[in-house]
Structure 1
Amino acid sequence: MATQTSIPASHDRDFYAWALESANRLRAGNLAGLDLQRIAEEIEGMGRAEKHALASHLKILILHLLKWRYQPTLRSLSWQLSIANARDEIAELLEDSPSLTGKLPEILARRYPAARQGAILETGLPAATFPTGCPLTVEQLLDPEYWT
């Protein structure tokens, strides 16, 4: 019976296997043959992914809070759940990566225009209904008791 030799996993061929193998080798202090540049890029990418996820949840939160504020007669449990879920996801991301808290004002400024545009499209209300600058503070956005 032929024995199968363990071939190092390739990042491009099987990312999951490569990541596990690289992590095990790092823990063991076996750096020979590790693609340290690729590992550094992947770690940076993970950080960017966390920031992107935060921005995405923040946009959803703003969009639904705008709808909540400017269409009070159409408020629904669905909107309420979307707001609560977005806040929960944001809180979890910030708990796991507290350094992202300092990025919130920057992310808010960058994502508000897209949230505003989404609210305009979803509500059918005139663009002038929605302020061009975000009417909500970071504190209001994160406060589970804040709704309008």
Structure 2
Amino acid sequence: MSANLYDRDFYAWANEQAGLLRAGKLTQADIEHIAEEIENMGKTEKRELVSRLTVLLLHLLKWQYQPGHRGASWQATIRVQRRDLARHMRDNPSLKAVVPEAIVDAYGDAIIEAGAETGFPESTFPATSPWSFEQVMDENFWPPST
């Protein structure tokens, strides 16, 4: 029944499973789907890291390559993304292990978006991130104009 409920009404399934786990009724719990959902939660945290890094890297690229367009909005976006990323890393310290991979993924996305937003060919931007995670997270780091 639980597996069927999983497909029909996820919210009801989740509440039912939480009740079963709290009551110690592990044999009645839908362990396979519970394990799958827990794994998905971990993947969601990594996707959040990549997403926020993409926004931060995009704005740092625009900051560097379009100095004439710099403004309070871009600066605020950079500062907020740094703060959100710091909170996310504080809440999920094990994500530190995937930061190098996340930077590669995020920077690839940032180049695509930077090309679209600036009108510059994607080849204008370095093929790999010119900045380390520590640099992009440093509140005093602002890329110089090119």
Tell me the TM-score normalized by structure 1. Answer: 0.87
Q: Does 1:31 align with 2:26?
A: yes
The residue that corresponds to 2:126 in the other structure is 131
The residue that corresponds to 2:110 in the other structure is 115
Deviates more, 1:133-142 or 1:84-93: 84-93
The correspondence of residues 1-148 of structure 1 with structure 2, limited to 5 A, is 10-148=5-143
Question: 3-state DSSP class of the match of 1:11?
Answer: helix
Task: Tell me, in whole angstroms, the C-alpha distance in 2 between the residues paired with 1:40 and 1:34.
Answer: 11
| Larger proportion of helix | 2
Q: Please tell me whether Structure 1 or Structure 2 has the larger radius of gyration of its CA atoms.
A: 1
The residue that corresponds to 1:4 in the other structure is none
Tell me the TM-score normalized by structure 2. Answer: 0.88
Task: Tell me, in whole angstroms, the C-alpha distance in 1 between the residues paired with 2:46 and 2:60.
Answer: 21
**CA-based RMSD:** 1.8
Task: Tell me, in whole angstroms, the C-alpha distance in 2 between the residues paired with 1:145 and 1:10.
Answer: 51
Structure having greater relative contact order (Cα 8 Å, sep ≥ 6): 2
What amino acid is aligned across from residue 95 of structure 1 in structure 2? Answer: R
Aligned-pair CA distance for 1:111: 2.2
Q: What stretches of structure 1 move > 6 A for 4+ residues in a row? A: none
Q: Is the 8 A contact 2:20 2:28 kept in 1?
A: no
Question: 3-state DSSP class of the match of 2:28?
Answer: coil
Give CA deviations for 1:64-94 in whole Å, capped at 9, x if unaligned. 0000111111101111121122212211211
Uncovered stretches (5+) of structure 2, i.e. residues with no partner: none
